[in-house]
A and B are shown apart, each in its own frame.
Chain A
Amino acid sequence: MSESQPEHPEGITPDVVRHLAGLARIALTEDEVGKLTGELGIILASIEKVSEVATDDVPGTSHPIPLKNVYRPDVPGPTLTTEEALAGAPDSDGSRFRVTAILGEEQ
């Protein structure tokens, strides 16, 4: 990972929330950072009790009803047309999604 790991021995701080917001690509306002700092601390305090019963001998469950090797026949099916795929896009040139610059000036 290119992002540095958050260090927060004292729990959820405004800096931790700013860091997480950066990872999640949400440009939070400072008001939101302040509010979330308090709320996340309270929520985490109430949910970290999962570690009390999560002992080493218990395997994890990722999927409630596991299925294995789900394949479909390797035959071409219907796909969206370019027009359909672009119909809901905020911006396009008629054949591709149009976005702003990928790299900033300092990159």
Chain B
Amino acid sequence: MSDLITQSAASLAAALAAGSVSSVEVTQAHLDRIAAVDGDVHAFLHINEAALDAAAAVDAQRAAGEQLGELAGVPIAIKDVLCTLGMPSTAGSRILEGWIPPYDATVVARLRAAGLPLLGKTNMDEFAMGSSTEFSAYGATHNPWDLDRIPGGSGGGSSAAVSAFEAPIALGSDTGGSIRQPAAVTGSVGMKPTYGGVSRYGAIALASSLDQVGPVSRTVLDAALVHDVIGGHDPRDSTSLTDQWPSFAAAARAGAAAESLKGLRVGVVKELDAPGFQAGVSQRFHETLRILEAAGAEIVEVSAPSFDYAVAAYYLILPAEASSNLAKFDSVRFGLRVNPPGGGTVEDVMAATREAGFGPEVKRRVILGTYALSAGYYDAYYGSAQKVRTLIQRDFASAFAQADVLVSPAAPTTAFKLGEKIEDPLAMYLNDVTTIPANLAGIPGMSIPMGLAPEDGLPVGIQLMAPAHEDARLYTLGATLERLLEEKWGGPLLSQAPALV
């Protein structure tokens, strides 16, 4: 395995800045790794050979003495939910097969402007509906720790790409856990920023009041470096916050250097420390709490009783918003068109196209959302779910009055077997029980590795949550905890992953 692919983005950036390696070399090493392992992992839907041109261009800029951003020359993978000029953008759906957008998502444009070569587009559950990538129209991604298992979802392509060393960093999107749950089950890092902290312009919408784009990486600092590039106000997204954000990389570096967590109040959410969770997940979680405590943190138990209703509210709000957002796939302006036998009106063509172009989970949720929004049911379902959302926000407000950060397992189990839950939608939905509350409230959440479950040797993640706008707090705490855990393990958790070749 080339040394270049095992390095963090931060260390590659340092080597690039020092001139000891070129972006072409780094990018080529990752393309070689993709060629070697992606037949088994299937993290990518599209590989961008033009990444080498972008790498050569940034090498030339550096040679010419131009001022470059820290990550200039470090390649990155992009979740296929994001629009990219020159690369197909399918959101994992047959209905957008081969579609090349006429514009870049703002986050993609910012990465290009910062000199990051784009390695390609990563696999995902169709329109980000799923927790396993098994609902991708293009076949599932495989977990690099065990190829018979799921890499999480919906952003399992991005999490698998970084944990299989096919990319040092990637972008994801998180509507109910699609960045954090894949990070947890692959031993990588995933950050869902505060709602509105990162532009969603050019992100193919799933549920607009929940969706948030964020970084996927192997280290907390790398996530922070990506966040610094993609974050900040975008006038093209009307939900984009106008906050002046601090440097998240500086927050992570401060956390990595800190000697103590003294005085930090860490709240354990009682409802997310549940007896139904896998034993090894609970065990590692409680061991991690002891580590935090030993480093000076004060552990307090907090209660959020409304969280018991979070999954139910989420599976009303999400389908309702998705059924509306996905109405744009009408066989007229982009994507697939299927003419029914014998022809028909534009409406018949639309129905035939959506029947052929949408997979089973998308149909399930669109029909469910249509039901939840229909006259006579709107108040009982969508209206009630919005009230639950208020109760969850109140629970977070009272929890954050007692604690600076909240913690929970990032997922209730380790990676399950491919095929295990695909025929049981409810079981699949419960994977998101730990991550959904943060989306409903709009607060930031991060998942970092906290060890391997003893019973199956698979990664487990801890979720850190902070009040809205306090993303920097997660980078500081995350970097401190990452350092403490790696000292205990004797290195990064991913160094224990199988070699794959």
Contact = CB atoms under 8 A, between A and B. Distances in A.
Contacts of B441: 64
Given A51-B384, A53-B387, A90 B102 contact: no
A65 B240 CA distance: 10
Interface residues of B, number: 77
A40 B380 contact: no
A1 B209 CA distance: 25
Interface residues of A, number: 59
Contact of A88 (B210, B333, B366, B468): B333
A47 to B, nearest CB: 4
B489 interface: no
Contacts of B201: none
A60 B390 CA distance: 6
A71 to B, nearest CB: 9
Contact of B336 (A58, A85, A87, A90): A90
A88 B101 contact: yes
Contacts of A63: 209, 239
A62 B386 contact: yes
A88 to B, nearest CB: 4
B426 A90 contact: no
B315 A65 contact: no
A99 B344 CA distance: 11
Interface in B318-370: 323, 327, 330-337, 339-340, 343-352, 354-355, 358, 360, 363-364, 366-368, 370
A15 interface: no
B391 interface: yes
Contacts of A72: 235
A90 B366 CA distance: 23
Given A21-B367, A100-B349, A28 B355 contact: yes
A107 B143 CA distance: 53
Q: Which of B101, B332, B387 has the most CB of A within 10 A?
A: B387
A59 B196 CA distance: 22
B231 interface: no
Contacts of A5: 374-376
Contacts of A44: 368, 371
Q: Which 4 A-B residue pairings sit nearest by Cβ, starting from the closest?
A: A64-B442, A60-B386, A90-B337, A54-B384
7 contacts: A6-B374, A43-B426, A51-B380, A61-B386, A99-B332, A102-B346, A104-B344
Interface of A: 1, 5-6, 12, 16-17, 20-29, 32, 36, 39-40, 42-44, 46-55, 58-65, 67, 70, 72, 80, 84-85, 87-91, 97, 99-104
Interface of B: 99-103, 194-196, 209-210, 235, 238-239, 241, 306, 309, 311-313, 315-316, 323, 327, 330-337, 339-340, 343-352, 354-355, 358, 360, 363-364, 366-368, 370-371, 374-376, 380-381, 383-391, 393, 425-426, 429, 439-442, 468
